[in-house]
Amino acid sequence: MLRNQLRTPLTTFIRKTIPQSISLQSLEENITQLKNQPNFSTPSPCTFNTNAQTRVSRNPQIHLIWNSEFRGKSSGFCSSASSTTCCWNCKSQGPFLICQSCGSIQAVDHSVDYFNIFGLDRKFDIEAGSLEGKYKDWQKKLHPDLVHTKSEEEREYAAEQSARVIDAYTTLRKPLSRAIYIMRLEGVEVDEEQTVSEPELLGEIMEIREAVEDANDSRALNQIQSKMDEKLSHWYNSFANAFQSKEYDDAIKSIQRMTYYQRVKEEIVKKL
């Protein structure tokens, strides 16, 4: 009888051992595909020890089927073979700054970009309100007064995470730094200090700066500032369109103009 049990077909064996909630048809199709591979082997015969106990050799390829088809569906915990980020404390999948399962503060993960931190799509146009609200939420959760009971390691994590959230907020809040950062995420470095060799643009900037220097009251300065806002708005839209179309040369051109006009605005603010 034992010999007949050991000769039970593989699919029948699996039917008796896996949970009923898993699709047997899907699993059997995967087994059929694996059988067609040159390195596929069925479970080896049982071996017997002196106590007449049986031991069935496990086929590692069955484990691979389970992982590839059902990983993450039956539980929310990471396995050793999973590439998903795991909480260092409870091993839950996908913790972000703070584990939602156990509340443990996580170490900084530099693969998480600034847009991910605030739950934003990676695009130039963002809503300032959503950025501000999420920033305050993270700062409250990572505030030293709220983590003082944590371990020393978690307090260090909190300080590092808080600094990163501040940097992310500062970068994304301003259109110019946001444009430079999002280009960097695409693998395109932008040199802010590169001089533009366009006589028309350089002449325009010189005239504007002279107007700022000659302005004697806040009214004149505010008028110049309004013009700079209009020009910046134009080049913000120009950058957004170029970036979306992956026309990176035009995107860089927009950033260079944004840089010049932004510096004029900073000069005006100093004088106001």
Give the pLDDT score at 192. Answer: 78
38-45 average pLDDT score? 43
Distance of alpha carbon 175 from alpha carbon 245, whole angstroms: 18
Give the pLDDT score at 197. Answer: 83
Kindly state the greatest CA–CA separation across the chain: 105
Give the pLDDT score at 193. Answer: 77
What value, to the nearest 5°, has the Cα angle with vertex 127 and ends 241 and 167? 95
Q: Phi and psi of 105, rounded to 5°?
A: -80, 135
Give the pLDDT score at 103. Answer: 87
Cα–Cα distances in angstroms (integers) from residue 109 to residues 7, 106, 143, 201, 206, in the given order: 50, 8, 19, 41, 44
Give pLDDT tens digits for 78-103: 654 444 578 988 888 876 788 888 88
Give the pLDDT score at 95. Answer: 67
Distance of alpha carbon 265 from alpha carbon 208, whole angstroms: 10
Q: How confident is the model at residue 162 (pLDDT cuts 50, 70, 90)?
A: very high
Give the pLDDT score at 143. Answer: 86
Place of tokens 């990471």: 78
Q: How confident is the model at residue 228 (pLDDT cuts 50, 70, 90)?
A: very high
Residue 111 DSSP code: T
| Residue 169: pLDDT over 80 | yes
Q: Phi and psi of 92, rounded to 5°?
A: -65, 155
DSSP states of 75-97 = -SB--TT--S-B-TTT-BBS-BS
Structure tokens at 130: 């959503």
To the nearest 10 degrees (0 to 180), the angle between helices 24-35 and 60-70 is 130
Least confident stretch, 134-143, 164-173, 218-227: 134-143
Cα–Cα distances in angstroms (integers) from residue 215 to residues 209, 212, 218, 271, in the given order: 10, 5, 8, 9
28-36 average pLDDT score? 50
Cα–Cα distances in angstroms (integers) from residue 146 to residues 63, 96, 138, 184, 192, in the given order: 43, 18, 12, 34, 39
Distance of alpha carbon 252 from alpha carbon 186, whole angstroms: 12
Give the pLDDT score at 191. Answer: 87
Give the pLDDT score at 198. Answer: 87
Give the pLDDT score at 146. Answer: 81
